[in-house]
Amino acid sequence: EVQLVESGGGLVQPGGSLRLSCGASGFSFSDYWMSWVRQAPGKGPEWVANINQDGGETDYVDSVKGRFTISRDNAKNSLYLQMNSLRVEDTAVYYCARDMTFRFDYWGQGTLVTVSS
Amino acid sequence: DIQMTQSPSSLSASVGDRVTITCQASQGINNYLNWYQQRPGKAPKLLIYDASNLETGVPSRFRGGGSGTDFTFTISSLQPEDVATYYCQQYDNLPPTFGQGTKLEIK
């Protein structure tokens, strides 16, 4: 059974940093692209970033470019999102998702990031 | 970015009813359109990919259609467990973008 489990969310002040993690199991993690997708309260999902199988290719939505960094450790079956210079508008539930060319076929349960003073 | 507009934004129907949601893209997206179901407090779940293909394990009462800029999502016979918010998502152009959602309730 495919499982994705996010962790690392919490309350952070504007301008602060946070690192999210996603542990994967039940599939060959190193064979798949992975994405982070976020959902602000009461809004639709928003794709944030993705990364290819070996970590050599990444892409980001414009609003997080230069502030967020996606990475992975295939030996640990883990995906990460380093978030710096956080803004109030980054407040959301962050999901990791298996990415089949932007068909997100498995999602984690999400981790809540709240940016507030 | 491509804008995805869903209608209606909310919908109330009876068990057994046929329900249809529409999704319009701000430009043509070929058939690069997915549909997701999000039950309250849960993560989105992929139901339909490439406009009309049913994801493995998804009941056959769910159907997707359309092409170009106009797409539909239909539940042929509404069940109580279908209470959820439904989202369309395009991936013809980066970044992939989602609609604002259609909240479906039971009368």
pLDDT of residue B38: 98
In the structure, how many helices (H) and strands (E) does chain B have? 0, 11
pLDDT of residue A70: 98
CB contact under 8 A, A107 and B45: yes
> Within 10 Å of residue A7's Cβ, how many Cβ atoms?
12
With a cut of 70, list the residues of chain A below it in pLDDT. Answer: none
pLDDT of residue B71: 98
- Candidates B91, B93, B100, B103, partner chain A, best to mutate (most A CBs within 10 A): B91
pLDDT of residue B65: 97
Contacts of B40 in chain A (CB under 8 A): none
pLDDT of residue A28: 98
pLDDT of residue A12: 98
Here the tokens at position A26 are 């039940």
Which residues are within 8 A (CB) of B79 and not within 5 positions of it... i.e. 6 or more apart?
B15, B61
CB contact under 8 A, A103 and B34: yes
pLDDT of residue A24: 98
Nearest-neighbour CA in chain B from A5: distance (Å): 12
In this predicted model, what pLDDT tens digit does every residue of B60-103 receive, in sequence order?
Answer: 999 999 999 999 999 999 999 999 999 999 999 999 999 999 99
